[in-house]
Structure 1
Amino acid sequence: MHGFLEALRIENMKHGLHVLIACPGFTASNIRNTALAADGSSQGETPRDEQKMMQPEEVAMRIVSAVKYRKDRLTLTFSGKLTVLLNKFFPKWVDKLVYNHMSKEPDSPF
């Protein structure tokens, strides 16, 4: 997605199109109550502690601010910023870290 969005931004530079790549990280949205699993059943509650996550209203305010100031990228969490930085130098290692982190979640498809 990043490559596509960056190409879209560059191809439309002279047309005034603004493209923001927003990476909010985990957000306390309780989306699993409406999201479906592969078999069509409800995913139910998240195993993650949503108290430690950013609230949707704060995410929205930061995205609106980034659009207002025509920012190219917005990464909201420390772990997201660290992941972006490390991925520039160690992409395969970061892939493994992310995979291992996501695979530890209960009912993970990994």
Structure 2
Amino acid sequence: MQKVIIITGASDGIGAEMARQWAGREGAQAALVLAARSVDKLEQVAAACRERGATVLVRPCDISVQADCRALIEATVQAFGRIDVLVNNAGMSAHALFEQVDDLGWYETLMRINHWGAVWCTQAALPHLKASRARLVAVSSLAGLVGVPGRTAYSATKFAMTGFFEALRIELAASGVSVTIAYPGVVATQIRYRGFDAQGQAAGRSGLDERGAMSVEECARLIIDGTTRRQRDIVMTAQGKLGRWMKLLAPALVDRMALKALNREGAQP
């Protein structure tokens, strides 16, 4: 029986690399459902996965639209009859000092993409996840554990995502569905360059210090390994692990660490 794996945000970055790695590991035993807005990019990822032996369903989906999330799950079940893994990976970045933002409309848009899309997909998939004792994955961020200056909007969405899936994990404990939350730090993708700036436009640059960024290949591998082991949390860097505990013991020090994560080219307050 094939393992049916849904990955949102699969057209690029971490999502695309997870799809390729899962196809490489599982081969013909993998049935991948790749979801994103860009069908052309999805088809390129799908072709690479098919070369590795996987069955692939490409599904255009805007996760900021609840009907699209429901349609994604319905199409998966119609095609394969089950769901074994749901990876809520799709997301968008943002960087702006709060005092520089005039119109908060894009804050709401970001919440729909980063938080509500994952909630809507999970709600639609829940009966099928329980039926197969599946693995449920949320790709959050270190910004969902520690607030980062200039990232009020992004941190808010990721904190919301983290809180939702932590609570849901407890609700699902008796069902056999595992909930894995991944907390990538700075990963070498273009997500921050395409994210919102203070005016809600594409930033065109990263607001974070990109030196020492984790490779997308390593990040995807860590998420897949943790998902396979039904790991609760995947904190990927030593700095992230330290910051998580130091937030309780020395919060002011963690604030200074977060400030140092900013891009030195004028991004800090």
Task: Name the counterpart of 2:24.
Answer: none
C-alpha distance after superposition, 1:51-106 (max 9, x if no partner): x111112101110110000000111111101101212323x325532553356753
Question: What residue in structure 2 maps to residue 13 of structure 1?
Answer: 173
The residue aligned with 1:44 is: 204
Report SS of the residue matched to 1:19.
Answer: strand
Residue of structure 2 equivalent to 1:76: 236
| Identity among equivalent pairs (%) | 28
CA distance in 2, matches of 1:98, 1:37: 22
| TM-score normalised per structure 1 | 0.78
Q: What residue is the counterpart of 1:100 in the other structure? A: 259
The residue type paired with residue 62 of structure 1 is L
Q: TM-score, normalised by structure 2?
A: 0.35
Q: Secondary structure at the match of 1:20?
A: strand
1:30 aligned partner, one-letter code: Q
- Residues 1:3 and 1:32: Cα distance change in structure 2 (over 3 Å): closer
Q: Relative CO higher for 1 or 2, CA cutoff 8 Å, sep ≥ 6?
A: 1
Residue type matched to 2:255 in 1? K
**What secondary structure sits across from 1:40 in the alignment?**
coil
- Quick one: which of 55, 58, 61 aligns to 2:215? 55
Which residue pairs with 1:23 in the alignment? 183
Which of 52, 64, 88 does residue 248 from structure 2 map onto?
A: 88
Letter of the structure 2 residue corresponding to residue 42 of structure 1: A
The verdict on how the C-alpha distance between 1:89 and 1:4 changes in structure 2, with shifts beyond 3 A counting, is farther
Match of 1:4 among 164, 178, 182: 164
The 2-side partners of 1:103 and 1:33 are apart by 14
Secondary structure in 1 aligned to 2:182? strand
Shift of 1:7: 1.6
Unmatched runs of 5 consecutive residues or more in structure 2:
1-158
More off after superposition, 68-77 vs 10-19: 10-19
Partner of 2:226: 66
CA distance in 1, matches of 2:243, 2:237: 10
| Alignment root-mean-square deviation, CA | 2.4
